Amino acid sequence: MNIILLDPAEVKDNRVFLNDRRGDHIKKVLGAAPGDTLRTGLINGPMGTSRVLRVTSEGVELETDHSGPLPQRPPRDLILALPRPIMLKRIFSQAATLGIDRIFLINANRVEKSFFSASLLEEANFHPHLLHGLEQAVDTMVPLVSIHKRFRPFIEDSLPKIMANCPIRLVAHPGDFPLLVQCLSLPITEKTIIAIGPEGGWVNYEISKFQQQGFQPFSMGKRILRVDTAVPALLSQLELLRHINPPADS
């Protein structure tokens, strides 16, 4: 936990009392004492610092000052064929850590339909996993999550509106496609939307529908990765490619 995230609703007159895992972290991991200053941030708001006022057996009281910068939302969106819930827990945290603006969980031919009834898809259950990722990355901007149970209406009706401000459109798929770096002009300066399929990849119909919407298929190479490996690997590649300049002409 590299930043303590606070819900604006729990801060009253620049004071907050933490008696949950955050208070335990401040006491047991940080070993903070009255007078110490901690890095804190308001969820979906600015960063700042908080001074420890008192430490008790019940929790920790802080005096807050969130006059710092408001983080920018990440320049990446993620379309993800709904994976198994046990994988999705990790993906939520990983995606928030690596920087995602919006997450669209969608259906696909190889998605198990029962996944859509998982309790994890309730906001109260997945929201903490997103916060864990932000705490690691020192960010306050929570990714926006939406769930789409029907593939074709998502692709034909919702996606054109979603990608209006995403000039770079990519879809990962095993096969004879170029590598990610071969699909892009470096450095990446525009917002990117990337689609990652289920275990085994998209079916041909799904790839063709993405291509009709201007998505470029690409391959990650010969190895077939689990979804919870592919997501952080691809997001890491995109972040790296944002900072790489093309070689100068000789």
Q: For the chain, list the domains and their CATH numbers.
A: 4-65 (2.40.240.20), 76-241 (3.40.1280.10)
Residue 26 CB-half CA count within 13 A: 32
Element housing 103 (H / E): strand 102-106
Reported as a single tens digit per residue, the pLDDT across 102-158 is: 999 999 999 999 999 999 999 999 999 999 999 999 999 999 999 999 999 999 999
Distance of CA 241 to the CA centre of its chain: 18
Reported as a single tens digit per residue, the pLDDT across 65-75 is: 999 889 999 99
Reported as a single tens digit per residue, the pLDDT across 103-116 is: 999 999 999 999 99
Whether the CB-CB separation of 213 and 160 falls below 8 Å is answered with: yes
**Helices and strands counted in the chain (H then E):** 7, 11
Q: What angle do CA 42, 141, 197 make, to 5 degrees?
A: 150
The pLDDT of residue 174: 82
Percentage of residues in the chain having pLDDT higher than 90: 82
**Does residue 250 carry a pLDDT above 50?**
no
The pLDDT of residue 47: 96
**Does residue 246 carry a pLDDT above 80?**
no
Residue 187 CB-half CA count within 13 A: 8
State mean pLDDT over 84-89.
Answer: 94
The pLDDT of residue 52: 97
**Does residue 54 carry a pLDDT above 70?**
yes
Do you find a cis peptide bond into 187, omega within 30 degrees of 0? yes
Whether the CB-CB separation of 167 and 213 falls below 8 Å is answered with: no
* Phi, psi of 247, rounded to the nearest 5 degrees: -60, 145
Query: CB neighbours of 182 closer than 8 A, spacing ≥ 6?
Result: 218
State mean pLDDT over 155-167.
Answer: 93
